[in-house]
Structure 1
Amino acid sequence: MNILLVGSGGREHALAWKIAQSPLLERLVCAPGNPGIARHAEIRPEIRATDAEKLASLAREMRADLVVVGPETALEAGLADLLAASGIPCFGPSARAARLETSKAFSKAFMERHDIPTAGYGVYERKADAFAALKVFKPPYVIKADGLAAGKGVSICTERRDAQAEIERMLGGRFGQAGARVVIEEFMDGEEGSLFALCDGRRAMLLGGAQDHKRAFDGDLGPNTGGMGAYSPAPVFTPELVERARQEIVDTAVAAMAAENTAYRGVLYAGLMATTDGPKVVEFNARFGDPECQVLMMRWEDDVVPYFLACARGDLTRLPPPEFSGDTVICVVLAAQGYPESPLEGSIIRGADQNFGPNVQVFHAGTRRDEEGLLVASGGRVLNVCARGRDIAEARERAYSAVRKIDWPGGFHRTDIGWRALERDDAET
């Protein structure tokens, strides 16, 4: 099979690493790619993930049998729609279906229409209306930009004046058109995790869950980021919670999308809060999470290509649920100093390409080669150090041991990834 992979981050490196293991693969091309992905695929750095026309043209040129879409920006740009017009199977939903992620206002209204459990909310375009709503909502205030903001469009404010300031920043253009509307939500108390499912337009097949760490610094402090680390499996997802989430959220959402003539094909990411009333949706994403994808790919034991192709073709019925390792996998994100607001680019990284052993993988997320061939930082989140172990403690030790072998003064990382799972293990022993 000829496969085109779209994207350039750590998620896409993990997908390239896993797809490259498929015995069905003949040729793998990735656009735009990165230096890590170049070890597994031909890369086309000149084609951006948002340039749907050029990506569709590339897919036709290489006679792609399947296109796997990594980032949400390519979905919003309508890549799946262009591929459908050319008869090329795409693992990723149409632009209309992707609104579950690309518009929080659409997503909240969709959940309200179909009784999918989530927090109460309001949508506002005018500052005065949003300020007035703060008198109704109780603190802490959850303020979200309506559109895509690279994982940074959410603020939780304990004080009304801080919430007002955040609303002013969003409506004032902080996130461009993505912040032209703001969503204010009720605060949900509980533990958050990410549940993933493959979807073929009519049915869903659960993949299991992971837990992300959104805050920049240890102790869940600092600004929201795209994710500073993750681990899987996530102990918060008990069998009982997963079953409720499957029935009340995932299956309901996929059936409702089909009923609204917007069949959803690809992977559905349900960000869930485990509340005292059961699982509730924090957000839907229309693609694999990043860095959750990295830990899922390392636990996934089957060939992923038949599953991605079955979703794209609209029929998962012939495949059994995929097998996942019982091991724990953890991902530690190495980010550039100044991330997420003003990440420093261009600093040299040494030691990232060494052999760390069979239980460790380092995925490139924001790297490039300079004129001398040295690896340098080119983004906010730069490297993903992932390790497997029999339990969270062993996986953590292996991951942080690898982190210590990478020489990068221009970066930083959290030292407490997986702390919730580790505390659970300690409490049980």
Structure 2
Amino acid sequence: MDILVIGGGGREHAIVWALKKSPKAGKIYCAPGNAGIGQLAECVPIPVSEFDALTELAEAKKVGLVVVGPDDPLADGIVDAFEAKGIPVFGPRKNAAEIEGSKIFMKDLLHKYHIPTATYRKFYTYEEAHAYLKEQPIPVVIKADGLAAGKGVTVAYSMEEADKALSDIMVAKVFGEAGAQVVIEEFLAGQEMSILSFVDGETVRPMAAAQDHKPIFDGDKGPNTGGMGTYSPLPHIANSIIEEAIETIIKPTAKAMVAEGRPFRGVLFAGLMISPDGKPKTIEFNARFGDPETQVVLPRLQSDLLDIFLAAVNGTLDQVEIEWKDEAAVCVVLASGGYPASYAKGIPIHGLDQADEAIVFHAGTGINEQGEWVTNGGRVLGVVGLGRDIAEARDKAYEQAERITFEGKHNRTDIAAKAL
């Protein structure tokens, strides 16, 4: 079966890499892809926003399955566009993808169905939001309602920081229309955890738990990024807590979406906070694979990813048992200097061929006229080490990451340290 994967980042590289291992997979196309993905699939330079061109490509290539990676096209209805053409597609429809596309929708859904989350208020004008903010304790969390490339959330540790975040979102409109409305919610302290699940209506098949590192600097300092590294499993979080999160948050949310006439099919990503008393609460939901969580979760998958995708599309996910490997995975993201603010592109990358004891997923790379690997994004590479435990996987990831160099290279040095 030939397959089309939509997207061009590290997440999509990991998806293509995992699909490539399936004996049922034929030729894989990726639109637009990146230079690293091009080693495994045929990249077609069509932007993820051009639905007509993408559906025409799928029809012309007679693909048997389309897999959508990024959030923006899901929120804009790309799955509906493929379904209208009768093309099998893995991912949620527009009305279900709203669980990520609107923080207000998500928070109201959880509130209505009594699913654990932080207390919150939603605002449509800066004046009302600002007046409410002045009355809140610090720290406080401010979120742009819409999609903002993973950067629309600020945890403010001072009122000055909170004021600036709110003004940037609603007055300066640094995230455009994504910040036309905001959510202000209580700060939750504790351990963060990500649980991705394959979902088909009320059927939920959880993946191995992971933990992401959003801030740019060690010790969770500095502005948020799309993710600077991740690891799986989480030896410091009890299985009973993970099970409680699945039973009290993820499964009830899938049922709530069905009850609302928005059945979810695809990957439902729960961002959770484990409070000091061991109780999980919902921070956010995403409507797709996480990036970089996918880069550690899929290498731990024992089962055939294509079989899982097809089961979800065909409504038979309840008949599938999914197996996971015991080994641990740690991903260290190598970023361009200056990220998440402005950064240079086209900088030569050296040592990729020397990192042969790791899985290296390309997020923002290209090949220049001289045939050299070059940087082409903020997050450039994800270096994944595998091992018997987190310590071994972490050592391998960092050892291999050091072999890769480019001018301005930046990475956190404390990925997975919490697990040790």
If the length of structure 1 is used for normalisation, what is the TM-score? Answer: 0.95
Distance 1:397 1:356 in 2: 14
Matching residue within 397, 400, 403 for 2:401: 403
Counterpart in the other structure of 2:302: 301
- Whether 1:316 and 2:314 are equivalent positions in the alignment is no
Secondary structure of 2:167 counterpart: helix
Counterpart in the other structure of 1:93: 92
1:51, 1:77 within 8 Å by CA — same for their partners in 2?
Answer: no
How far 1:277 moved relative to its partner?
6.0
Q: How does 1:277-426 map to 2 (within 5 A)?
A: 278-320=279-321, 322-354=322-354, 356-357=356-357, 360-422=358-420
Secondary structure of 2:95 counterpart: coil
2:232, 2:297 within 8 Å by CA — same for their partners in 1?
Answer: yes
Q: How does 1:196-211 map to 2 (within 5 A)?
A: 196-211=196-211
How far 1:352 moved relative to its partner?
1.6
Per-residue displacement from partner, 1:205-252 (whole Å, max 9, x unpaired)? 111210000110111111111100000002354221122112211111
Secondary structure of 1:311 counterpart: helix
Q: 1:236 to 1:314 in 2, by over 3 A?
A: farther
Distance 1:150 1:18 in 2: 24
Distance 2:144 2:235 in 1: 30
- Whether 1:12 and 2:7 are equivalent positions in the alignment is no
Q: How does 1:250-261 map to 2 (within 5 A)?
A: 250-261=250-261
Q: How does 1:47-126 map to 2 (within 5 A)?
A: 47-126=46-125
1:55, 1:79 within 8 Å by CA — same for their partners in 2?
Answer: no
- Whether 1:176 and 2:176 are equivalent positions in the alignment is yes
Distance 1:398 1:161 in 2: 41
AA aligned to 2:394 is R
How far 1:262 moved relative to its partner?
0.8
Counterpart in the other structure of 1:426: none
1:200, 1:313 within 8 Å by CA — same for their partners in 2?
Answer: no
AA aligned to 2:333 is V
How far 1:407 moved relative to its partner?
2.2
AA aligned to 2:189 is D
1:348, 1:410 within 8 Å by CA — same for their partners in 2?
Answer: no
Per-residue displacement from partner, 1:250-292 (whole Å, max 9, x unpaired)? 1111111111111100011000000126110000000111110
AA aligned to 2:308 is Y
Per-residue displacement from partner, 1:60-93 (whole Å, max 9, x unpaired)? 2211211111111120121100111122221110
How far 1:161 moved relative to its partner?
2.4
AA aligned to 1:312 is V
AA aligned to 1:102 is G
Per-residue displacement from partner, 1:314-352 (whole Å, max 9, x unpaired)? 2212211x1111111000000000000112212110122
How far 1:189 moved relative to its partner?
1.1
If the length of structure 2 is used for normalisation, what is the TM-score? Answer: 0.97
Secondary structure of 1:13 counterpart: helix
Per-residue displacement from partner, 1:380-400 (whole Å, max 9, x unpaired)? 000000010111111111111
Counterpart in the other structure of 2:136: 137
Distance 1:237 1:108 in 2: 25
Counterpart in the other structure of 1:427: none
1:6, 1:49 within 8 Å by CA — same for their partners in 2?
Answer: yes
Distance 2:81 2:286 in 1: 21
Distance 2:246 2:155 in 1: 28
1:351, 1:407 within 8 Å by CA — same for their partners in 2?
Answer: yes
Distance 2:243 2:416 in 1: 24
Per-residue displacement from partner, 1:185-217 (whole Å, max 9, x unpaired)? 100111101011111123111112100001101
Q: How does 1:156-305 map to 2 (within 5 A)?
A: 156-171=155-170, 172-275=172-275, 276=277, 278-305=279-306
AA aligned to 1:420 is K
Unaligned 5+ segments in structure 1 are 423-429
How far 1:302 moved relative to its partner?
1.4
Distance 2:174 2:167 in 1: 9
CA RMSD of aligned residues (A): 1.2
Distance 1:234 1:89 in 2: 34
Distance 2:259 2:230 in 1: 34
Q: In percent, how many aligned pairs have the same letter? A: 47
2:143, 2:182 within 8 Å by CA — same for their partners in 1?
Answer: yes
Per-residue displacement from partner, 1:97-156 (whole Å, max 9, x unpaired)? 011111101110111111110001111121111111113321101011111111111111
Distance 2:386 2:236 in 1: 19
1:236, 1:274 within 8 Å by CA — same for their partners in 2?
Answer: no
Q: Report how many residues are paired.
A: 418
AA aligned to 1:403 is A
Q: 1:12 to 1:414 in 2, by over 3 A?
A: same
AA aligned to 1:176 is G
Q: Which runs of 4+ in 1 moved over 6 A?
A: none
Distance 1:385 1:31 in 2: 23
Distance 1:353 1:375 in 2: 11
AA aligned to 1:109 is D
Distance 1:31 1:237 in 2: 37
AA aligned to 1:177 is E
AA aligned to 2:250 is V
